[in-house]
Structures are given as C-alpha cells and as structure tokens.
C-alpha cells in the first residue's frame, strides 16, 4: 500500500439499558492530513481541552458537566463542518453468546476492511483498552490482553488477503493522541443518539457521517471458507434511515432547505 494521506482514529461506545437492545459501536474519525483544515480543527480541540479539568476532551464527561456542554457542541460542529474529517460508525446488536468481546471483534473486522477498501486509510490508531503507562503507543501487546485481541482480528484478515498486509494498526493513550478525541466525540454522539432513538443528537456531525452494521466475521468465527459475513438484518436498514434523518435535520437547522416534510418513519419508536 502506497503512503496515503488518510489516517483513522478509533474509539468505542457500549450501551446497555432495559429500554433498548445492547449494542456496541466502533467509530473511526478519518482524517486527510494533506488538508489545512485538519490543523485548524486541532487548534479548536486544544482550545476546548484547555478549559477541561483533565486537559483533554472526553465527550461523556463534558456531557455531564453543564459548563462543558457548550464546548462539546462546538467541537461536534467543527467536526461536522471540517473538510478534512469524515466519520464511520460500525454497530453490532444484539449481542450473541460471545458477549461484548465478540461484538467488538465483529466491529473491528467490519471497520478495518471498510477503512482500507472504501476510504483508502493507511494507518489506524485505536484507543487502548489496556494501561500503557507513560507510553503513547503500544507496539506489541501481550497475548491475552484486550489490545492483543484487536490485533489478532486484524492479523487474521491480513493472513487471508482481506486486509492489506501493510495496513498499520496500533493502540494509543487517548491523553496523548488528540486525534482520538475526535473519534471519542463522534462515537459518543452516535451512541447517545442511538440509545435515545434521537437522530437530532447526530445533526452536527451528520454531514460527513457513515453508519453500517458489523457483518464481516473475524476469521476465528468462520465455520468454513465460504462464510465470510453474517446475514443482513433490520439493523442495516435502520442505521441507513437513522443517519439520513440526522442529515435532513442538520440541513433544516442550517437553512439549506425549508418547508421539507418530516420523514414518515418515526425512529424514536421504531425497532430494529
């Protein structure tokens, strides 16, 4: 794979409530390093981060703190309007017998293949689920760690040619890599909007957002060489309708068109 300007930062959201099915979301912030708008976004992120007690952007904490909510919305708007950034969210629900980890690895498989094949991403940095100490990056995770499981899924797909061998995937400490802040904000917006069944929660990042169901199976889950994906479910159609409605809400809020009728489907009460 030739050196490409597109890199991705990945963060996760897990939602669990009696009010809706459990779901796992992996969201990638896809960045074009060749565009000056990316540097401008980083400046905004750092400006907002300096107002936070931790010195970093963490969306769930900002959403709970009343004096930080305006800053969170401003970051969401900057992400949605920035020409150097796109977001891809992969969702798995409901959970199977393998629980949270199985759901995550299905998301990892779908996300990595899509980032490489559809977005020409050459490098992926994931938020570490394991302590990294003072190091910003983990190069060789220990066997049995959660980071190792992510890389095992990637290596399995590379071994059978479904991912390029030179796709670089690593884990990093989100306190030290500000690109992960973008992924955190986008992932939180996706997770909270799906949890509330409220597309308006996505309106600011909607212009450059793509959502899809996690269907590509990790190699370890395949019973035979022909079983590469899980069947399409209603979730795929739900996600497509959900993001389209979010984009329509964004366009109305931005004055891009007026007197548009509301979509007939009520996603606030719909099921998938």
Q: Residue 257: what pLDDT?
A: 55
The Cα–Cα gap between 49 and 72 comes to 10
Domains of the chain: 6-253 (3.30.420.10)
φ, ψ of residue 85 to 5 degrees: the values are: -125, 135
Query: What six digits make up the tokens of 253?
Result: 């809020």
Tens digits of residue pLDDT in 53-67:
989 999 999 999 888
* Mean predicted lDDT score pLDDT of the chain: 88
Is pLDDT above 90 for 88?
yes
pTM of the model: 0.89
- Over residues 151-180, mean pLDDT: 94
More reliable by pLDDT, 137 or 96: 96
> Cα separation of 102 and 173, whole Å?
23
Neighbouring residues of 171: CB distance < 8 A, sequence distance ≥ 6:
125, 126, 127, 128, 129, 130, 132, 137, 138, 141, 147, 150
Task: Determine the pLDDT at residue 264.
Answer: 46
Task: Evaluate whether 183 touches 256 at the Cβ level (below 8 Å).
Answer: no
Average pLDDT over residues 117-136: 86
Check whether 271 has a pLDDT greater than 50. Answer: no
What confidence tier does 101 reach under pLDDT thresholds 50, 70, 90?
very high
Q: CB-based burial of residue 21 (10 Å sphere; 0-12 exposed, 13-18 middle, 19+ buried)? A: middle
8 Å CB contact between 110 and 162: no
């Amino acid at each position: 794979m030739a050196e490409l300007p597109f890199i991705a930062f990945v963060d996760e959201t897990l939602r669990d409530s009696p009010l809706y099915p459990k779901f796992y979301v992996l969201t990638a912030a896809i960045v074009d390093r060749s565009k000056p708008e990316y540097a401008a976004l980083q400046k905004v992120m750092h400006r907002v981060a300096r107002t936070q007690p931790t010195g970093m952007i963490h969306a769930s904490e900002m959403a709970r703190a009343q004096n930080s909510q305006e800053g969170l919305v401003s970051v969401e708007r900057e992400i949605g309007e920035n020409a150097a950034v796109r977001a891809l969210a992969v969702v798995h629900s409901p959970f199977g017998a393998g629980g949270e980890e199985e759901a995550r690895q299905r998301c990892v498989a779908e996300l990595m293949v899509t980032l490489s094949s559809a977005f020409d991403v050459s490098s992926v940095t994931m938020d570490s689920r394991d302590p990294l100490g003072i190091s910003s990056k983990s190069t060789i995770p220990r066997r049995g760690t959660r980071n190792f499981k992510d890389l095992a899924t990637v290596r399995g797909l590379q071994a059978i040619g479904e991912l390029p061998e030179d796709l670089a995937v690593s884990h990093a400490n989100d306190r030290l890599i500000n690109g992960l802040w973008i992924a955190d904000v986008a992932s939180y917006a996706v997770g909270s909007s799906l949890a509330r069944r409220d597309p308006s929660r996505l309106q600011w990042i909607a212009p450059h957002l793509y959502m899809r169901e996690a269907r590509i199976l990790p190699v370890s889950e395949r019973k035979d060489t022909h079983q590469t994906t899980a069947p399409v479910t209603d979730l795929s159609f739900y996600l497509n309708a959900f993001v389209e409605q979010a984009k329509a809400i964004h366009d109305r809020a931005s004055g891009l068109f007026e007197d548009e009728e509301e979509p007939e489907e009520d996603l606030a009460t719909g099921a998938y």
